[in-house]
Amino acid sequence: MKLHEYQAKDVFAEAGIPVPESRLATSVDEVMEAVADIGYPAAIKAQVHVGGRGKAGGIKIATDEDEAREAAEDILGMDLKGYTVEKVLVEAGVDFENELYVGITMDRGEGEPVAMVSTEGGVDIESVAEETPEAIAREHIDPAFGLHPYQARKVVYEAGIPRDVAGDVASILSTLYDLYESKDASDIEINPVMITSDREVVAADAVMNIDEDALFRHPDLAEMEDEAAEDDLERKANEYGFDYVRLSGNVGIIGNGAGLVMTTLDLVDHYGGEPANFLDIGGGAKAERVANALDMVFADENVDAVVFNIFGGITRGDEVAKGINEALESFDEIPKKVVVRLAGTNAEEGMEILNTDLVEVEKTLEDAVQRAVENAQEASQ
């Protein structure tokens, strides 16, 4: 779950990290009231879950009332990379001399969190990592012991942070790790940390992503979830209780069990197709659940064909077949070609039940995936 900048800054401020004075606004009048209280210059920043807001016109600096009003009118309601801006953060301008990057994330290769510090703040840190990786100092953290103070100081000095602010930056890094651990964060960063002309350090931006599976431990954070930021299909998946990830391809995939679905994804790629989603309906799925899964995949405009891969264990093949028939019979016209592969418990019974006027049936997973990829390629031509 991604927190908005204003939400993450509230968490940071509560933990003692310095942040600029700011107010949230949802209308032009509220923006004008906020800048009247905060003063000029002020930053007016779109609150949407996308990167590159500044380059896309979602962040503007106002030095007077006319510029503030113009910025508010331009940003509120704008389409920013597919998201409508409904609220902005009005924030006091910072007179800064340098911009730094400070963050904590999981290094999956090492199996440990890693603290990262760089003097190349204010720019896309992924580009820095790719083009000049030596510009980022890193320190791995043993989760059994946490981030030791000496480690925070070490990575800050290795990054080349000026000595007069190094202690403050190390303190911010230590606080970020405390939040990363205590709030079950998956990523947490400040880009940039600004060094002001008075040699103070301020968090000018804030990113904090929370592990959704841990939200039951953090009801205060769960209340911050922005339903408007969710993809419609992801919202529908949550309603149905599915494990679902939307991808960029055109072959819809439905299966029971994460391993089976991942295998299907790999085979789609192997046979020259592109998966449109990961959708696991789980074990013991009944007809209604199967029908909901098909409804979801059909609702994805990117999907040109569907492969349904079920291995019967708890999930019986005949129940799945009933669900497929019920779902497809509810359509006046089948919107996408569906290929079904059933194996395991009651698979033969399920194959007999399937309405072959509505679906294509294959005995092996390889044949089913190949057929689905071919169907998608034909539909996209």
Q: Is 309 annotated as contributing to ligand binding?
A: no
Q: Is 205 annotated as contributing to ligand binding?
A: yes
Which residues, including other chains, have CB under 8 Å from residue 145's CB and lie 6 or more apart?
Answer: none
Q: Is 199 annotated as contributing to ligand binding?
A: no
Q: Is 254 annotated as contributing to ligand binding?
A: no
Q: β-strand 59-62 against 42-46: which pairing, if any? A: antiparallel
Q: Is 28 annotated as contributing to ligand binding?
A: no
Q: Is 355 annotated as contributing to ligand binding?
A: no
| Residue appearing with tokens 């960029």 | 248
In the residue annotation, 83 being an active-site residue is answered as no
d(CA 90, CA 79): 19
Q: Is 5 annotated as contributing to ligand binding?
A: no
Q: Would you say 300 and 276 are in contact if contact means Cβ atoms under 8 Å apart?
A: yes
From the list 189, 319, 360, 362, the catalytic residue is 189
Q: Is 130 annotated as contributing to ligand binding?
A: no
Helix axes 163-182, 5-15, angle to 10 degrees: 110
- Return the biggest CA–CA distance within the chain: 78
In the residue annotation, 333 being an active-site residue is answered as no
With CA atoms as reference, report the closest residue to 61 among 50, 48, 72, 47.
72
Strand partners, 107: 112
Q: Is 313 annotated as contributing to ligand binding?
A: yes
DSSP H helix total and E strand total for the chain: 13, 18
Q: Is 99 annotated as contributing to ligand binding?
A: yes
| Residue appearing with tokens 């431990």 | 217
The DSSP element (H or E) to which 200 belongs, if any, is: none
Q: Is 156 annotated as contributing to ligand binding?
A: no
From the list 5, 6, 101, 139, the catalytic residue is 101
What does 226-266 look like in DSSP terms, one character per residue?
Answer: -GGGS-HHHHHHHHHT-EEEE-SSSEEEEESSHHHHHHHHH
Residues making up the annotated binding site for ATP are: 45, 52-54, 91, 94, 99
Residues that are catalytic: 101, 189
Residues making up the annotated binding site are: 45, 52-54, 91, 94, 99, 191, 205, 256, 313-315
Residues making up the annotated binding site for substrate are: 256, 313-315
